[in-house]
Amino acid sequence: MAAYGHNAFIRDGDKVYRTYFINSRGDEAMGTTWSYLDMTALGRQEAWEDSPEGYPQTAPYKWWNWHDNYEAETAPDPLWVDIVTDPAGAAIRRREAEAKTCNYS
Amino acid sequence: MTDIMREEVGAPKVFDRTAFQAELDALRIREKAHTHEGDAIAAARRRLPMVEVDGTTTLIGPQGPVTLLDTFEGRRQLIAYYFMWHAGHPAPEQCEGCTWVTAQVRELAYIHSRDVTYATFCQGPYEESAQYREFMGWEMLWYSASRESLETLLVGRAGSAECISSATCDRVRKSLRRIGQPLAASR
């Protein structure tokens, strides 16, 4: 038996299922957030993904939590989320905000 | 500054900036196609079936025996890497490939955000292998799983009662070994 490799499991209450297995050169590709999520049954769970009907999906980036912080205060900085999801709009909003606070002396 | 990298040194050819960018742009077309094909394969992967496994399978953790279900830590999904172990051997003699794989694991909060847990299932005694984990400075969940437990997890629930008797189980193990080869070749 190949005694090494990556497995993915999903549970439904107390029932556990194995959804995927890969090893050898497949292991080489693992190690990043995306490669791990892409091997799970539910994927990255992002709205752009082609997934079966009813799978959980939300907007990209906004779900990133740092060091397992789920408190509202430690959620990703809204300014950062803005920059990542809408760089052009964020730049305009930043310039407008700076223009308002600019002091001409 | 004169060319440092010449063809005969076994390094890329030197082009001017415009020509370099043109080559980069040309390759990018293939790289984009690769990315999109990766997306399509991931979409197909999400449409694979699944097989039930025994959630009561026992593993040994830092606080003693736990079940496979426990290792989910309440999250919906689990990624478990099976780590080979050579009992009684010192750190430098442990599995280099498994060590390489495990060394890539870094910030797991992102996959936790997606309700996914990552754990290492090591096929060796807990105390011995946990020392290796600590020596390497790793922080991921670490459990000891017997070879029998892992084989049950690979075979699945259907027929697991028969696996206690050797004939059926041997046939299944042999077919799994053959399956292991094409997976390596195709990837």
- Say yes or no: A89 contacts chain B, CB-CB below 8 A: no
Angle B180-B182-B187 (CA atoms, 0-180°, nearest 5)? 100
Chain B hits for A11, CB-CB cut-off 8 Å, are 55, 69, 72, 76-78
Chain A hits for B47, CB-CB cut-off 8 Å, are 52
Mean pLDDT of chain B: 84
At residue B175, what is the residue type?
A: S
User: B136-147, pLDDT tens digit by residue?
Assistant: 999 999 999 987
DSSP class of residue B11 equals S
- Its pTM stands at 0.76
Q: Hunting for tokens 């290796």 — which residue is that?
A: B132
Q: What is the DSSP secondary-structure string of B82-142? A: EE---TT--GGGS-HHHHHHHHT----HHHHHTTEEEEEEESS-HHHHHHHHHHHT--SEE
User: A64-101, pLDDT tens digit by residue?
Assistant: 877 776 665 556 667 777 777 788 888 888 888 888 87
Q: Which of A50-54, A91-95, B157-161 has the highest mean pLDDT?
A: A50-54
Asked whether the beta carbons of A21 and B182 are under 8 A apart, the reply is: no
Chain A hits for B184, CB-CB cut-off 8 Å, are 23-26
Chain A hits for B53, CB-CB cut-off 8 Å, are 9, 16-18
- Say yes or no: A76 contacts chain B, CB-CB below 8 A: no
Q: In chain A, where are the structural domains located?
A: 1-52, 61-105
- Say yes or no: A31 contacts chain B, CB-CB below 8 A: yes
Q: How many CB pairs under 8 A join A and B?
A: 166
Mean pLDDT of chain A: 86
- Residue B67: partners with Cβ closer than 8 Å, 6 or more residues away: B55, B56, B57, B58, B59
Report the DSSP beta bridge partners of residue A57: none
Upper half-sphere CA count for residue B118 (Cβ side, 13 Å): 27
CB contact under 8 A, B78 and A9: yes
pLDDT class of B161 with cuts at 50, 70, 90: very low
